[in-house]
Amino acid sequence: MAEYSNVKSGKLVLKGEKTGSHKKRKHKKQNRDKEDMPVKDEDALKHGGWWKVKQIEEMTGSIAVEFGNQTYVKALDNGLFTLGAPHSEELKVACAGEGPSPEEVLTAFNVNDVKVALKSGYGKYLRVDKDGAVTGRSDAVGPMEQWEPIFQDGKLALLGCNGCFMSVAPDDDSVVATSKKVGSDEIVKVRSHAVKEVTPGSKLPEEEKGSLAQVEVNYVRKFQKFQDKKLRVNRSDRSELEQARQEGNLHEALLDRRSKMKADRYCK
């Protein structure tokens, strides 16, 4: 019995089976390093670095509305909108695609949790006129200047104030909102040129991936206590969150902002 107890116990090794080696562990480490590397967005590369928006929280700042492939909504100096000329997916010099032109760049603002306002490069807000034409002639945002992005199954459509979705008229390429149903003509891509603050593939929790605005919304959704499920997001300046992230106390800063909105079951 004494001899039996002196035998070293270990993993069962079958005949013909090779034992593990340091090289195997090295390969595992290399695989982990590859997982941590930033994922290249080939689609954004083809569009000059303009990446596809996937949720309303990302629809802020400079954006472009794309119909089809490489063709964007273009503002005219008379307040109307049309479909711009196609852009190249690959430039000979830069080895990357061409982004939207300046007149095809809009500015998006979050009006609330479900609607946005869009402003053209001429400083006017987009709305839908009585005849269904999309125009940019408003100086302020009212009910007529609000758009609701509808995300479903990885696709996006923009719902106007008249209950119709944005599309392009087939006869003259003018931008209109005349259809109450979504078909292939009403499907758009909204692209943003904002710098993503967290690279894909990082080991951060899902709630902390994305922009600071998106992170704050994620945590409000996770901890909110309201039965009506309506978000109460602090709209004050988020510069303090950037500093908190750098100092390593982002969670405390987010909790403090939520406590001011009384939107957290952990708040007093």
Neighbouring CB atoms inside 10 A of 88's CB total: 12
Question: Comparing 112 with 34, which gets the higher pLDDT?
Answer: 112
Greater model confidence, 13 or 156: 156
CA pair distance 135, 79, nearest whole angstrom:
5
Residue 20: what pLDDT?
A: 53
* Tens digit of each residue's pLDDT (9 = 90 or more) over 75-90: 999 999 999 999 987 7
Structure token digits, residue 8: 């070293």
Categorize the per-residue pLDDT at 236 as very low, low, confident or very high, splitting at 50, 70 and 90. confident
Please classify residue 41 by burial: count the beta carbons closer than 10 Å to its beta carbon, then call 0-12 exposed, 13-18 middle and 19+ buried: middle
253 pLDDT band, cuts 50/70/90, is: confident
63 pLDDT above the threshold of 80: yes
Work out the percent of the chain whose per-residue pLDDT is above 90.
49
Instruction: Give the mean pLDDT of the chain.
Output: 80
For residue 232, the SS3 value is coil
Looking at the chain, the domain(s) classified CATH 2.80.10.50 span 44-192
Task: Tell me: pLDDT of 97 over 70.
Answer: yes
The model carries a pTM of: 0.61
| Strands (E) located in 16-164 | 51-52, 61-67, 71-75, 81-83, 106-110, 116-119, 125-128, 134-138, 148-152, 155-159
CATH class of 44-192: mainly beta
Residue listed under structure tokens 């009006």 = 111
Output 23 or 174, whichever has higher pLDDT. Answer: 174
Q: Is the pLDDT of residue 5 over 50?
A: no
- Copy the structure tokens of residue 184: 């292939």
Compare 25 and 119 and report the one with higher pLDDT.
Answer: 119
What is the predicted pLDDT for the residue at 7?
46
